[in-house]
């Protein structure tokens, strides 16, 4: 227990110190984690820590990240990406593998070893690239989407690579590898459902597993999450989300598929689920911690003794790898019409080797494909290229992007004005939020609607209404719903305390968002005003005005005159509220606030006669 606590303290301390410093200097969180790992590597070595085992555990963060990426992609969008998925992704893997294989053969390696090296180094780092693109807000750019297409194809390509690599085995290496490699292979085989199966049986099992993920995600998760939502216990929903992701990853692993690919597929299946944002907000903290731990282990796993012994060779190989992949990606981007800064973003962002390289190199050694000495050097190349990736993004930010900015600005001036992104979030889909959502839809706007009632969502679903399950007052769920990019937040929750908490958080942390807030009564209006909200609607106010107008009409006033009389009263009431709002103190009950009561009485004494005179004048003249 003490050893575990000590390790947890070391890793957390390194990350908490290094990442803010790196972020402060514009280096990004990924490079901060890598630097933290390098800094604590001597301490971990002195304690005899197995960094590789921790790294394998932390790689589950990549699995979670691809699940979250899948949640953002509907199957329709994935189908629309098919040209870049095959053109950019397929072209990058094939051309890069061929180029590296050819160079390795020129350096004297047998074709089998050279091909294995080419396959390993063709992959890029999903963890680093997606994390960095999301941090910099570049994920939705053309370059970001192109990068994602390449990374997704690479994750798919891992499956045939795992099938091909054992066929490249060198018989002369069989007796030279460490004994534990065979043991590891045997252990892995023991965890496999498809070991010993014939080809058609293995294929049928694999297809069945994929079908189970699609069927389970589409038809079984809804009832399961609705059952859990009845308890309204956040920790239980979090446990269920983890259960689902881990279960899918386990299923994919035992049938010989990539767990990351499986969870990505599960995410795509759930992209239209009403529980999508709740799942995203529950999984995201675990993903972030595990990815941070993974980056730390990459930095800590660098073998500096071997690096210093072969510094020029490792440096040359790393530089050559980055140059080759950047050139291939740049050429493919040109062919696929990815232009301007997006082309450079794709080329520089994916020029490194990836975390799957660690897995594949261990796999090649265990299957007697690549000699251990060469694999150890390649491990350094993979790690160093990943460490250098944040620096390449800095080059993009500070050198490439500014040079294109002026020309792109000139081009944009000649383009017709585009309508701005109208990202809208409606919190609460009850009596008030439902009408607001329908009005927005009638005008062609699409809102992200969040409601915490599973029964309400099930009821709405039967009428074809789309809404997502979750507590809108939670900052993490708001982030998952896209509050950072939102233009408008409509707060239509029922509980006064929830409305106030949500408005206070958004006003403080997302001041760019325009908030339209529902107020339950007059005092609540003052409370929301005091925390910075300026677009407040009392839930019964407009209906009260309509009732008053009907009362006037019932007393013989014409319809137009009744409308005008209500408008006069409405104008007076709104001015009165603004006039006394600054005297309201959220920490003092309104009936005990002497200053507020005094201001209300003074304003009423001065303005009530004017209100009566104006309303009566309208009634007499009909204007």
Three-class HEC string of 549-586: HHHHHHCCCCHHHHHHHHHHHHHHHHHHHHHHHHHCCC
Contact status, residue 503 vs residue 531, Cβ threshold 8 Å: yes
pLDDT tens-digit map of 209-247: 888 888 877 777 778 877 887 776 777 878 888 888 888
Q: Which of 370, 404, 438 is the last residue of a domain?
A: 404
The yes-or-no verdict on residue 418 having pLDDT over 50 is no
Looking at the domain assignment, is residue 413 inside a domain? Answer: no
Contact status, residue 477 vs residue 278, Cβ threshold 8 Å: yes
Looking at the domain assignment, is residue 535 inside a domain? Answer: yes
Q: Are both 390 and 472 inside the same structural domain?
A: no
Q: Which range is least confidently modeled, 119-123, 188-192, 562-566?
A: 188-192
The yes-or-no verdict on residue 482 having pLDDT over 90 is no
Looking at the domain assignment, is residue 414 inside a domain? Answer: no
Give me 417's structure tokens: 């004005």
Q: Are both 551 and 535 inside the same structural domain?
A: no
Looking at the domain assignment, is residue 532 inside a domain? Answer: yes
Looking at the domain assignment, is residue 501 inside a domain? Answer: yes
CATH classification at residue 131: 1.20.1530.20
**Percent of the chain residues topping a pLDDT of 90:** 16
| Region at 337 (left for phi over 0; alpha for psi -120 to 50; beta for the rest) | left
CATH classification at residue 428: 3.40.50.720
Contact status, residue 296 vs residue 14, Cβ threshold 8 Å: yes
Q: Which range is least confidently modeled, 95-109, 137-151, 238-252, 406-420?
A: 406-420
Nearest to residue 291, comparing CAs of 623, 1, 34?
A: 34
User: Cβ contacts of residue 429 below 8 Å, gap of 6+?
Assistant: 437, 449, 450, 451, 456, 457, 460, 465, 467, 492
Q: Which residue has the higher pLDDT, 404 or 423?
A: 423
Looking at the domain assignment, is residue 415 inside a domain? Answer: no
Q: Estimate to the nearest angstrom the gap between the alpha carbon of 183 and the chain centroid.
A: 38
Give me 154's structure tokens: 């690479």
Q: Are both 356 and 266 inside the same structural domain?
A: yes
Q: Are both 534 and 547 inside the same structural domain?
A: no
Nearest to residue 558, comparing CAs of 549, 567, 546?
A: 549
Domain that residue 500 falls in: 420-539
Q: Which range is least confidently modeled, 251-255, 381-385, 469-473?
A: 469-473
Helix axes 372-395, 311-335, angle to 10 degrees: 60
CB neighbour class for 125 (10 Å; exposed up to 12, middle 13-18, buried from 19):
buried
Residue 454: CB atoms within 10 A of its CB come to: 19
Question: Can you give the pTM of this predicted structure?
Answer: 0.60
Q: Are both 502 and 533 inside the same structural domain?
A: yes
pLDDT of 128: 83
Q: What confidence category does residue 414 fall into, taking pLDDT thresholds of 50, 70 and 90?
A: very low
Average pLDDT of every residue of the chain: 81
Looking at the domain assignment, is residue 409 inside a domain? Answer: no
Q: Taking the CA atoms of the chain, what radius of gyration do you get in angstroms?
A: 30
Return d(Cα 607, Cα 574) in angstroms, integer. Answer: 12
Looking at the domain assignment, is residue 63 inside a domain? Answer: yes
**What is the mean predicted confidence (pLDDT) over 176-195?**
49
End-to-end Cα distance, the chain: 82
Contact status, residue 489 vs residue 295, Cβ threshold 8 Å: no
Return d(Cα 517, Cα 493) in angstroms, integer. Answer: 9
Q: Which of 343, 369, 404 is the last residue of a domain?
A: 404
Q: What confidence category does residue 174 fall into, taking pLDDT thresholds of 50, 70 and 90?
A: low
Q: Are both 364 and 427 inside the same structural domain?
A: no
Q: Are both 524 and 545 inside the same structural domain?
A: no
Contact status, residue 528 vs residue 536, Cβ threshold 8 Å: yes
Q: What confidence category does residue 22 fall into, taking pLDDT thresholds of 50, 70 and 90?
A: confident
The yes-or-no verdict on residue 176 having pLDDT over 70 is no
User: Cβ contacts of residue 502 below 8 Å, gap of 6+?
Assistant: 427, 472, 473, 491, 493
Q: Are both 66 and 126 inside the same structural domain?
A: yes
Q: Are both 510 and 553 inside the same structural domain?
A: no
Q: Estimate to the nearest angstrom the gap between the alpha carbon of 234 and the chain centroid.
A: 20
Q: What's the total number of domains in the chain?
A: 3
Return d(Cα 306, Cα 376) in angstroms, integer. Answer: 8
Q: Are both 206 and 109 inside the same structural domain?
A: yes
Give me 117's structure tokens: 């090296």
pLDDT tens-digit map of 100-144: 999 999 998 999 999 999 999 999 988 788 878 877 777 777 888
Q: Are both 334 and 481 inside the same structural domain?
A: no
Contact status, residue 576 vs residue 603, Cβ threshold 8 Å: yes
Contacts 24+ apart (CB under 8 A), 371-378: 371/113, 371/173, 371/176, 372/176, 372/177, 372/178, 374/109, 374/113, 374/117, 376/303, 376/306, 377/306, 377/310, 377/313, 377/314, 377/317, 378/117, 378/120, 378/121
Give me 479's structure tokens: 């982030």
Q: Estimate to the nearest angstrom the gap between the alpha carbon of 593 and the chain centroid.
A: 46
**What is the mean predicted confidence (pLDDT) over 337-356?**
87
Q: Are both 84 and 66 inside the same structural domain?
A: yes
Q: Which of 514, 539, 564 is the last residue of a domain?
A: 539
The helix (H) or strand (E) run that includes residue 500 is: helix 496-509
């Amino acid at each position: 227990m003490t050893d575990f606590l000590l390790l947890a303290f070391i890793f957390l301390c390194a990350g908490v110190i290094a990442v803010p410093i790196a972020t402060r200097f514009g280096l990004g969180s990924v490079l901060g984690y890598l630097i933290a790992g390098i800094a604590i590597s001597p301490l971990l070595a002195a304690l005899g820590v197995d960094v590789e085992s921790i790294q394998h555990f932390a790689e589950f963060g990549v699995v979670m990240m691809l699940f979250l990426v899948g949640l953002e992609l509907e199957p329709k969008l994935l189908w629309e990406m098919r040209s870049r998925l095959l053109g950019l992704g397929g072209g990058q893997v094939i051309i890069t593998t061929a180029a590296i294989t050819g160079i390795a053969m020129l350096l004297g390696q047998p074709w089998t070893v050279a091909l294995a090296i080419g396959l390993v180094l063709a992959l890029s780092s999903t963890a680093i690239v997606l994390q960095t693109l999301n941090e910099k807000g570049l994920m939705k750019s053309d370059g970001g989407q192109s990068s994602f297409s390449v990374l997704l194809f690479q994750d798919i390509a891992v499956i045939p690579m795992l099938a091909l690599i054992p066929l490249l085995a060198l018989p002369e290496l069989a007796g030279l590898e460490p004994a534990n490699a065979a043991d590891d292979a045997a252990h892995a085989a023991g965890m496999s459902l498809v070991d010993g199966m014939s080809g058609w049986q293995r294929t049928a099992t694999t297809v069945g597993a994929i079908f189970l993920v699609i069927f389970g995600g589409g038809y079984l998760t809804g009832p399961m999450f609705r059952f859990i939502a009845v308890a309204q216990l956040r920790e239980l929903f979090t446990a269920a989300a983890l259960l689902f992701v881990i279960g899918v990853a386990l299923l994919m692993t035992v049938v010989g598929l990539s767990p990351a690919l499986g969870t990505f597929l599960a995410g795509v299946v759930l992209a239209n689920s009403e529980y999508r944002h709740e799942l995203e907000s529950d999984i995201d903290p675990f993903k972030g911690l595990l990815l941070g731990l993974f980056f730390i282990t990459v930095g800590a796993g660098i073998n500096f003794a071997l690096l210093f012994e072969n510094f020029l060779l490792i440096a040359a190989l790393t530089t050559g790898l980055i140059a080759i992949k950047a050139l291939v990606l740049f050429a493919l981007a040109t062919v696929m019409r990815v232009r301007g800064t997006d082309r450079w973003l794709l080329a520089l962002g994916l020029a490194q080797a990836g975390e799957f390289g660690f897995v594949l190199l261990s796999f090649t050694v265990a299957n007697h494909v690549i000699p251990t000495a060469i694999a150890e050097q390649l491990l350094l190349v993979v790690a160093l290229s990943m460490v250098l990736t944040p620096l390449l993004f800095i080059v993009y930010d500070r050198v490439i992007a500014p040079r294109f900015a002026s020309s792109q600005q000139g081009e944009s001036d000649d383009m017709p004005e585009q309508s701005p992104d109208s990202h809208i979030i409606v919190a609460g889909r009850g009596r008030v939020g439902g009408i607001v959502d329908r009005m927005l839809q009638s005008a062609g706007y699409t809102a992200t609607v969040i409601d915490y009632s599973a029964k309400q969502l099930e009821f709405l679903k039967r009428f074809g209404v789309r809404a997502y399950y979750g507590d809108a007052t939670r900052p993490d769920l708001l982030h998952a719903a896209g509050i950072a990019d939102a233009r408008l937040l409509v707060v239509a929750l029922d509980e006064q305390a929830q409305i106030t908490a949500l408005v206070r958080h958004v006003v403080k942390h997302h001041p760019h968002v325009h908030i339209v807030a529902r107020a339950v009564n007059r005092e609540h209006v003052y409370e929301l005003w005091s925390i910075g909200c300026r677009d407040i609607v009392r839930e019964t106010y407009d209906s009260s005005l309509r009732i008053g107008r009907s009362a006037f009409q019932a007393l013989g006033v014409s319809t137009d005159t009744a409308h005008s009389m209500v408008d006069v009263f409405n104008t007076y009431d709104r001015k009165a509220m603004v006039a006394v709002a600054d005297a309201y103190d959220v920490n003092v009950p309104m009936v005990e606030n002497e200053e507020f009561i005094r201001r209300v009485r003074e304003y009423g004494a001065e303005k009530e006669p004017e209100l009566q005179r104006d309303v009566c004048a309208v009634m007499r003249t009909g204007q």
